Each structure stands twice: as structure tokens, then as C-alpha cells.
Chain A
Amino acid sequence: MTQAIDTSIYSAVTSAIQAEAQRILSEGQVSAVVGYAPARRKGSAQPVVITEASDAGKLIFSASCVNNLAVYLTKAKKEIPKNGKIGIVVKGCDLKALVGLMGETQLKREELHIIGVPCAGVLASTFQPDKALTTETIAPKCRECDAQLPQGCDFVPPQQPVTQALEKKYAAEIARLEALTPAERWAFWKEQFSKCIKCYACRQVCPFCYCEQCLCDRNKPQMVETSPRPAGNTAWHIVRAMHLAGRCAGCAECERVCPMDIPLNLLNRKMAKELKELYDYEAGFEIKEKGPLSSYDEKDDQSFIK
């Protein structure tokens, strides 16, 4: 049954973000603010970098503000003025990426002014931007969100999002796949990966894919075939999932930007689930220098090793 989700706080959140951006820019606390602005299509939003206090009125927050802006602080960092602190508007899921990046010493907490957003959910990529947010049109990641109110930010508007428990689609799909035989799972993923056109949008949009040279682009030795054929596609998606294991906190941007609708976040959520079970580790809640795969315990399970 489709139910509307209350997004009435978003207009108050928008004014609060604008006031905060205005304040920090005019006081010279930050040199730029990364946020969302309306885009050309009605109701849509796009990332924007503002450097003048007079532009603060451009900032908005709505159910169409889907992007994870943390990515602009890594690869695109060079384009954002580096003198001084940078303000950034983050939802709870985006904050987890920032926390991960700080743990990996890609960002420094003192160089950021984090504006958290109380978020009731955003639209799934498959729906038009001016659709109302309902239990039908909400992004799958928002169904399992545990960070509607970002913690540890410099500023969070006082509004409280109205939340409701929704059916967890990723968890259900993982359970469904786990119940299949290996051959059936192979057939499922083979079909999914065969759709891949190797556009690498998933890599470009991922805050954690910040390597200057990706292993998958190297050709001496070539580890992963680069042409968009089934063998290389499968290898790419396995390597991608493995490199994000224990780091990905589930902003699901990879899945959103995938032009071929490959359920990429399913792999990331599966790895997150396994690492939680194995090493009781969850990405994105506190700044940790070492992730589950860059640390160890002498008592780790080794029942699979002869």
C-alpha cells in the first residue's frame, strides 16, 4: 500500500541551510559551501558550489537532493578552492562517507564545516524529480536508513524527520539470493553483469574510489579486462565490491547512476552484512583509522582454512 511520506520539514530545513551558509560565508569561516540547488527540470536538484554569501539563497533541500556531495571533496577537490575550510551539506548517509574518508585520512575534520540535514528520505532514481515522496517512490537505501538525523555535525537544523518502518528491500533480496543454489546465483549475476557497458559511472560517483590510478585501468599487468565483455565485467564488479568491502556505508550512488540498472548496492550491502557478522564492524559511524580488512585479531575465525 502506497503511503505518503511527510517531507513538510524540508522547507524549514532549506531556510536553515541558507541561513547557516549565509552566516559562515559572510563571517569568512569557510571559503566555499557545497550544497544542492534547483536544476532545470521542475522539482529537480543538482550539486552546487557557492563561494559568495549572496548566493546562499540558491541552496535548497528537497526529496530530489539525492547526490552524495562527499565525492566533491575527494577527486574533484582540486576544483573547489582549498584555502580555508569548506562547508558541505550532508544527509546521514553522506555523512557516513565523510566519516569513512576522514578515517582513511583523505579529509580532515577541522577543514570541514559540516551542515547535517534531518532527512525523511529522498526519491529513487527511477522516479521523476517532481513526484511526491511516498513509500513507493522512496529510494531503496532510505528504506533501511539508520541515520535520518546526522550526528556530530557543526550545524543541524532543529527539525525532526517523521520516520516510519519500511520493508527492507536489500535485506530481502540478499536473503532471496542466499537461498538459491550457487548455479542459480551465478546465472542471476551473469545476467546482471552482462548488462554492464563499463562506463565506470559507479567508480566516478563513489566517494571511496579515489585512487589516482585504478587497478582496473592498469594494463601492465592487466588484472581486469577493460572491454565491456562478460569476463571483464564480472571481474570488475567483483573487484569493485571487494575494494569497497568494509568501507562502503551504503549511499547507493553507484546503483543510482548505473545506466544499465545493475543492483550494485546489493553486493556492497552483502559485504557489509558479512563483515558485520565476521568482525562486528559497521562502516560510517565513527572515525576509525583501520577498517575491518586493514586490521586483524589473532582470534579471527579460520574454520575455512585447512
Chain B
Amino acid sequence: MAKEKVYMHAEKQKHSFEPKIIAFVCTWCTYAGADLAGTSRMQYPANVRVLKFPCTGRIDPVFILKAFQQGADGVLVSGCHPGDCHYIAGNYHARRRFAAFRKLLEFIGVDLDRLQFSWVSAAEGGKWVEVVTELTERVRAMGPMNEFKELALDEQWSGKLDSPELKEAYNAI
């Protein structure tokens, strides 16, 4: 009887779609938390790309926009729990800014299920794994984020300007 092959890790499941998740994290808490998850050999989806910032207060809403435009399917923003900010109040300011930004994105028509905010401390490696896994699986079920990618490919054709002559001239270029 052939010896059953033993894998060091559980066998990776094959998916038809692997979402790209961009995580904007604060260096003092969530980055250390993600590091802890790694040193504790916890498994979490490799779909997440971590970008380290000094503080959640440094994370401008325009970064999130840029991430979606550059092809992210989901965005995670994570930092210290309220009261734990290394810079005293960066995360309090970030909380208000993101609360407002969420409302704006919602009004523009972006599905907020693709955008996750979380507080993950340096001791919460387990929570980091949980947050990343949940967001990855949720975005995987939603499929690729096409709205912003389509915009990037779109050419400018205003309805009012779109005359047959112009279109012909444009196509001739």
C-alpha cells in the first residue's frame, strides 16, 4: 500500500477567481498583528497585499480610490483600537474620515462589501487571520470589481458630443 502523502500545510483549494485585496495597515498595531500571525504559523489567504503606514490617520481616502482604480477587488483598512493610537488620536480622526468616505462611495454606487475597516492590535494575530479570510471569501463570492477597471478602459464619449462625424473622425485616428 502506497504511503499517503503528508503535506506540511492543508492542501490549497483551487478557485476560479483569486481576488486582489489591498490592506492599508498601521505599523504599530495591525502590521505587528499580521507579523504575529505569520510567526505563529497561522494560515490566511495569500490574496492580501499589505501596505504599511505609520498610522491609520495617514491613510487618505484617495489611496482607497487609487487601489480600486489599479485593480483591487477589495480593500482593507486596519489599525489600532480606539485609545491605543501611537500618535494619541490618529485612529479617531481616521474613523470619522472613513465613516464619511464610506457614505460618499455608497452614494456614488460602490458596493461597500468590498471595503472593510477593522481594528487589529499587535496581539490579535487570530483576528487578523479572521478578518482577511472573511473579506477574501466575501469578495471572491462577489467576483471581480469591474466598475473602476471599466472606467480606466473607457474613452471619453459624452452623449452630447457623440455625433456620427466625430465618431468617424475618432475611429480614423
Residues of A within 8 A of B (CB): 177-178, 182-191, 194-195, 215, 223-224, 228-231, 234-235, 238-239, 241-242, 245-246, 260, 267, 270-271, 274-275, 278-279, 292-298, 300-302, 304-306
Chain B residues within an 8 Å CB radius of A271: 100, 103-104
Residues of A within 8 A of B105 (CB): 238
Can you list 16 A-B contacts with CB-CB less than 8 angstroms, sorted by A residue number? A183-B109, A189-B108, A195-B159, A215-B62, A223-B60, A223-B62, A235-B62, A238-B108, A242-B100, A242-B101, A270-B107, A271-B104, A293-B100, A296-B95, A298-B83, A305-B119
B99 touches A231 (CB 8 A): no
Q: What is the chain B residue whose CB lies nearest that of A177?
A: B107
B92, B104, B110, B116 pick with most chain A CB within 10 angstroms: B104
Residue numbers in A under 8 Å from B151 (CB-CB): 190, 230-231, 234
Min CB gap A158→B, angstroms: 41
- Report if A224-B95 is in contact (Cβ < 8 Å); known contacts: A230-B151, A306-B116: no
Assess the A293–B62 pair: CB atoms within 8 A.
Answer: no
Residue of B95, B110, B151 contacting most chain A CB atoms (<10 Å): B151
Q: Which residue of B lies closest to A305 (CB)?
A: B117
CB distance from B68 to the nearest CB of A (A): 9
> Is there an interface contact between B100 and A246, defined as CB atoms closer than 8 Å?
yes
A304 touches B152 (CB 8 A): no
Cβ contact within 8 Å between B96 and A300: yes
Whether A185 lies near B109 (C-beta < 8 A) is: yes
- Specify which chain A residues have a CB less than 8 angstroms from the CB of B16 in the assembled complex: none
Beta-carbon contacts under 8 Å, B110-127 to A: 110-111, 116-119
- A230-B156, A231-B154, A298-B83 are known contacts. Are A274 and B95 too (CB-CB below 8 A)? no
Q: Which residues of A contact B61 (CB under 8 A)?
A: 238-239, 242
Q: In whole angstroms, how far apart are the Cα atoms of A194 and B105 in the complex?
A: 17
Q: Of the candidates B104, B109, B152, which one forms a contact with A182 in the assembled complex, judged by CB atoms under 8 Å apart?
A: B109
Report if B82 contacts A (CB, 8 A).
yes
Q: Which residues of B contact A305 (CB under 8 A)?
A: 95, 98, 117-119
Assess whether A194 is in contact with B147, with CB atoms less than 8 Å apart: no
Instruction: From B98, B102, B116, B158, give the contact of A194 (CB < 8 A).
Output: B158
Contact across chains for A274 and B100 when beta carbons are under 8 A apart: yes
Residues of B within 8 A of A238 (CB): 61, 65, 104-105, 108
Q: Are B93 and A294 in contact (CB under 8 A)?
A: yes
For A215, list chain B residues within 8 Å (CB).
Answer: 62
Contact across chains for B108 and A186 when beta carbons are under 8 A apart: yes
A178 touches B154 (CB 8 A): no
Q: How far is the CA of A230 from the CA of B83 in the complex (A)?
A: 40
Q: Which of B66, B89, B98, B118 contacts A306 (CB 8 A)?
A: B118
Q: Which 7 A-B pairs have the closest CB atoms?
A: A186-B109, A185-B109, A296-B92, A306-B118, A274-B103, A231-B151, A305-B117
